[in-house]
Amino acid sequence: MSPNPVHAAIRKFLNWAVVILLISLGYLFLQPVLEIWGLGGFGTGRVRFGLLDYPLLAVFVMPILFAPIILRVLANLSDLVKQRTFLLDSPKSPVIKLKSNPIANEDIELDINFPKRSDKWNDIEVLWRVGVLPPSRESLMTAFGKKTDQQPPPGLTTVLPHHWHVNLDDGTGGGEESPMESNDVKGGLFIRPMRIMEQSEKTVLNGSKVTLKPPSGIWPGTIFSPLIRVHWELVIVIQRESGRSLMWVEPLNVLHQKTKSSVKASVNSGRTETNHPSAIH
């Protein structure tokens, strides 16, 4: 499923909210100097709430900081309701057939059929993407010369039992890769982006057969080891008349090419709401 678009909007707004807060704090810090120079200023008075006095400027700044938190909570509740509704009436899985075993950096030919299409579906887009999955905690700590139960190196969180156990994150996101998800489905209902990732161009599915160009770069095939994990997956994006788009993700076992791999590792935020497959170019 696609998370509530409010999440992405709030994330952008928070950057400006923090800038406004820093400017306000700097302004209040310099306020005594401004008074000495006879410049005065706006918002330097005091407002009493209960037994405490607060700067007048806080009356204008604090709502800007708390509004995103309230909106985020409401968006999470909306996501939970949407997930519950989806689980009560979820569509059947598509039937995907590969013409041949996919090979890295080569076109892939597919045959996709849906047992039942909803009247509310619009265009169906297909793409495939490749990226690097988080390494296991044990191998990562070993690479830094540390034991598993020791303090992690700077930039990594302490042990997140569930996430580390199923390798859902690399320990740099504080356990906040995606909005609130239902626990009824293993792995969640939101598609998680990979920190290092490239995807192919989107192709509209007309009929059942489709040919996809490979993602940019010279990537290796599927690799699954404790430290290095290169993952390929097929993504089907279903646009709907009302509501957010639906997606089906199918892992692919991709063969290696007989050439040297060379990948430009561009890192993204790793956030679900800012890395929707339809929004990545």
In this prediction, residue 215 has a pLDDT band, given cuts at 50, 70 and 90, of very high
| Mean of pLDDT values over 133-152 | 82
Residue 62 CA to residue 34 CA, distance in Å, equals 23
Residue 22 CA to residue 192 CA, distance in Å, equals 32
Q: Comparing 84 with 281, which gets the higher pLDDT?
A: 84
Q: 51: Cβ–Cβ under 8 A, 6 or more apart, which residues?
A: none
| Mean of pLDDT values over 65-77 | 87
Query: What does the pLDDT look like over 107-118, one tens digit per residue?
Result: 999 999 998 888
Tokens coding 180? 């609130």
CB 196 within 8 A of CB 267: yes
CATH number of 93-279: 2.60.40
Query: What does the pLDDT look like over 20-65, one tens digit per residue?
Result: 888 888 887 887 777 777 766 666 677 777 777 777 777 788 888 8
Most confident of 28-37, 78-87, 171-180: 78-87
Q: Comparing 95 with 2, which gets the higher pLDDT?
A: 95
Question: Is the pLDDT score of 156 beyond 70?
Answer: yes
Query: What does the pLDDT look like over 178-204, one tens digit per residue?
Result: 677 777 777 678 887 888 889 999 999
Q: Which pLDDT does position 4 carry in this prediction?
A: 81
Q: Which pLDDT does position 149 carry in this prediction?
A: 78
Q: Which pLDDT does position 222 carry in this prediction?
A: 94
Q: Comparing 53 with 104, which gets the higher pLDDT?
A: 104
For the chain, the structural domain boundaries read 6-87, 93-279
Q: Which pLDDT does position 209 carry in this prediction?
A: 92
For residue 56, what are the CA distances in angstroms to 29, 49, 51, 149? 14, 11, 15, 49
In this prediction, residue 164 has a pLDDT band, given cuts at 50, 70 and 90, of very low
CB 229 within 8 A of CB 135: yes
> How does the average pLDDT of the chain come out, rounded?
81
Q: Which pLDDT does position 167 carry in this prediction?
A: 47
Which residues are registered as beta bridge partners of 124? Answer: 238
> Which of 102, 246, 266, 254 has the alpha carbon at shortest distance from 198?
266
Q: Which pLDDT does position 174 carry in this prediction?
A: 47
Q: Which pLDDT does position 280 carry in this prediction?
A: 66
